[in-house]
Amino acid sequence: MNFDSKCVHAGQAPDPTTGAIIPPIYQTATYVLPAVGKDRGFDYTRSSNPTRQALEENLAALENGRYGVCYASGMAAVDAVMKLLKSGDHVVCSDDVYGGVARYFNQVLTAYGLEFTYVDSTEAHHVANAIRPQTRLIWLETPSNPLIKITDIAAVAKVGKDAGIPVGVDSTFATPMFLRPLELGADLVMHSTTKYLSGHNQLIGGAVVVNQPALYERLKFIQKTIGAVNSPFDAWLTLLGLKTLHLRMLRHHQSGLRIAQFLEAHSKVARVHYPGLASHPQHAIAKREMSGYGGMLSCELTGGIPAGKRLMNSVQLCQLAESLGSVETMITHPATMTHADVPTKERNARGVTDGLVRLSVGVEDADDIEQDLAQALEKC
């Protein structure tokens, strides 16, 4: 099947008992066994659940991967990947990552003996130069949060392969609609299903997709043992969202590019970060590895911090809110919201300034989004 058909059908055969076209919600904690030592493939929902299994199969198909493993949140998915490591191991990480990931790495995992080196992964040689004998994972985020940097996955995957180090990619912003890291040589891809995959701000979830059986078995063991799984109802809601992923992402892409062009031409905007713009430093990489650029962008205003605050406090259609990737357009101030726990000095060194504004362009009429931003910019 082609991608659009996979969104609708992969992992979602009609219910064999009733013919229901939508997979049932198996809202159960346990299962009655036919006999001692026998089961029907399910024994306890922490270990496995038919609704969650359908979601895992769907996500694996969308990534052109073999195995999907779902978790209670995107951060739970990141945590599962990090539990593949042990004390003394070293991770090379993109320098522009979601603030919750940086918080987890720096304030939790370092206490357990893991070490992290942050590099500008947009240049593969920076990743290669940071590798140590103890390096056991390369962690990329592309497009990154909130500077929308683009990493050449194929180039970094070669670095990892040459060094015998697995490469993981947080591809939440792009979704498998526009970017499939496994096809470019990555070993695993992670998504916060909270965002574009479910698409309607209705749940929290995460997932990892891999091709290697040994890696899958380890992640499934961690999933079962820790129990940070999404509920059957949340899995079912995610499946509903995925049925329109291809339609929504096309609209996010179309409107995202239009709004990025509008902002770049505006006199009160100093800089726009959007990979679909020719001015983006990694536009060529995005054009080569991605089939679309999505709805995420960030910008800095000529008026600095005060102007940024006035913009965010003046929008009417756009919603001042955490998160991203939903049908609603959302505007965020990374320094005080998504990246508030990143130390100021470190945040500024990475380019996440106090004047940076992040925009998740939704699926409303693009004219309305542009007009809302225009009226808000008049007050900046």
> What is the set of active-site residues?
46, 98, 170, 195
Q: Give the strand pairing for 356-360 and 67-71.
A: unpaired
CB 68 within 8 A of CB 16: no
CA-to-CA dists, residue 196 to 122, 173, 185, 207, 253, angstroms: 23, 7, 23, 13, 12
CA-to-CA dists, residue 192 to 102, 206, 207, 317, 368, angstroms: 15, 4, 7, 25, 28
SS3 assignment, position 155: helix
* 378 residue type, one letter: E
DSSP annotation of 38 reads B
CB 154 within 8 A of CB 161: no
Name 271's bridge partners: 300
Angle CA(377)–CA(378)–CA(380) in degrees, nearest 5?
60
Kindly list the strands in the beta sheet with 356-360, ordered across the sheet, starting from the edge strand earlier in the chain.
269-273, 296-301, 356-360, 330-332, 319-320
CB 149 within 8 A of CB 143: yes
CB 7 within 8 A of CB 242: yes
